[in-house]
Amino acid sequence: DTGVSQDPRHKITKRGQNVTFRCDPISEHNRLYWYRQTLGQGPEFLTYFQNEAQLEKSRLLSDRFSAERPKGSFSTLEIQRTEQGDSAMYLCASSINRGESSYEQYFGPGTRLTVT
C-alpha cells in the first residue's frame, strides 16, 4: 500500500491554458474524491466516483472542469481555459467501505496549481 499519489505536484500555467491532473488511489479503494483547497480554507468538495461512475458533482465544478475515472482505477481532473481564480491546491482522496472505518478518506499530497 503506497498511499494515494497525485501528479504533478506543482503546475504553473498561463491563463487560458488547459491543465490535467492525475490521481492514483489506494489499489483496493472503490471511491475516489476530488477537492479544491485555497489558502486558509477547508477543502471544497468537487466530485466523487464509485468505481468508474461519477456519482456527485458540486456546483463549484463549472463546465470548464471535468473529471474521469475510466477504468475505476486512476482518475484525471481537467480544467479548461484556466482562470486566475482556479489557483488552488487540488486534493484527491480515496476510500473503501470497511466496518468501523467506513469510507474513511485517505488523501494524496495534492497538486498545487498557479495560474498566471
63 binds other proteins (CB under 8 A): no
Longest dimension (CA), the chain: 45
48 binds other proteins (CB under 8 A): yes
Q: By C-beta, is 56 or 78 nearer to other proteins?
A: 56
Position 91 contacts other proteins (CB under 8 A): yes
For other proteins, which residue of 15, 78, 103, 116 counts as binding (CB under 8 A)?
Answer: 103
User: Counting contacts by CB under 8 A, is residue 60 touching other proteins?
Assistant: no
Whole-angstrom distance, CA of residue 18 vs CA of residue 29 = 29
Written as one string, the DSSP assignment of 3-56 is --EEE-SEEEE-TT--EEEEEE--TT--EEEEEEE-TTS--EEEEEEETTEEEE
Task: Report CA torsion sign: 5, 37, 11, 82.
Answer: positive
* Position among 7, 44, 52, 68 found at the interface with other proteins (CB under 8 A): 44
* One of 23, 61, 75, 108 touching other proteins (CB under 8 A): 108
Phi, psi of 99 (to 5 degrees): 50, -125
Using CB under 8 A, list all residues that contact other proteins: 33, 35, 40-45, 48, 55-56, 58, 91, 93, 100-110
